[in-house]
Amino acid sequence: MNIVGFNVVPYNGLIDKNEFSKYTTGVRTLDTFLFEEIEKIEEDNKSLLSVAYINDEIVGMFALSTAQTTNNETSKQSTRTFRKANMRYSNLPMISIDHFSVNKKYQYVDDPSNEQYHVGSALLNVIYETVVMLRVQYNVAIAGVSVDALPNAADWYEKQKFVYVNDEEENTPVKDAFKMIIGYEMIEKAYYILHDHKTD
C-alpha cells in the first residue's frame, strides 16, 4: 500500500485553472458540483473547496463546512458514537464533507497485480488532520464529521468507520445519498495511528 502525501491549496488559490478544468471524477453529480456549483457555493460562503496536488497534478478535492446533527435522527450506531452526549444535547457540532472526490486516474481498482495509491484514504486523513488541529490547537469543539455519501461510496465510508445516521438507510438500496457520521474519538485515533503518535 502506498500512502500519499499532498500539497493542499484552497480552490480560490489555484494558480492554473486549466488543470482544474481537466479534472474528472467519472461521476456526473460530483463533476457537476465542481464545474457548475462551486463558484456560487464559495461566493455564498456555504462551503469551501480544497484541492490536493501531487507534483503539478490534481489528484483529489474536498469541500468542508460546519454542520449539526440532531439526536432525533440518530441511529443505534451513531448513539454509540456520541454516547451520553446524544441524551444531553439536542444537537452536536460537526464538520460536514460537502464534496469528496478522487481524480478518476487515481481511483482504487481492486487488482492485486497493480500497485495502488490509496488517494481516498490519504485525502480523508487530510480532513482528519484539519479536525484534530481545530480541536487541539484552536480549542474548537467538534463532535465528529458528517457526509452525504453517494450510493456507490457508502460501503467505502463504512470501511473508514463511518456509521449511518438513520438505521433504516443502511438497508435501503435505492437512495440519492446516505447520511453518515464518524465521531471525534475515532477520527483522533485514526489520525494518531497514521502519524505514529499515542493518544492520551
Map out the domains of the chain as residue ranges. Answer: 7-194
Per-residue confidence of the chain (200 residues) as pLDDT tens digits?
Answer: 345 678 899 998 876 778 898 999 999 999 999 999 999 999 999 999 999 998 888 999 999 999 887 655 555 665 566 666 666 777 889 999 999 999 998 887 665 554 556 889 999 999 999 999 999 999 999 999 999 999 889 999 999 999 988 766 666 665 678 989 999 999 999 888 877 644 44
Reduced to 3 states (helix: H, G, I; strand: E, B; else coil), residue 20 is helix
With beta carbons less than 8 A apart as the criterion, state whether 80 and 42 touch: no
> For the domain 7-194, what is the CATH superfamily, name and number?
Gcn5-related N-acetyltransferase (GNAT) (3.40.630.30)
128 alpha-carbon distance from chain centroid: 8
Cα separations (Å) of 180 from 2, 13, 65, 109, 162?
Answer: 27, 30, 15, 24, 6
With beta carbons less than 8 A apart as the criterion, state whether 86 and 71 touch: yes
Residue appearing with cell numbers 487488482: 111
Predicted structure pTM score: 0.84
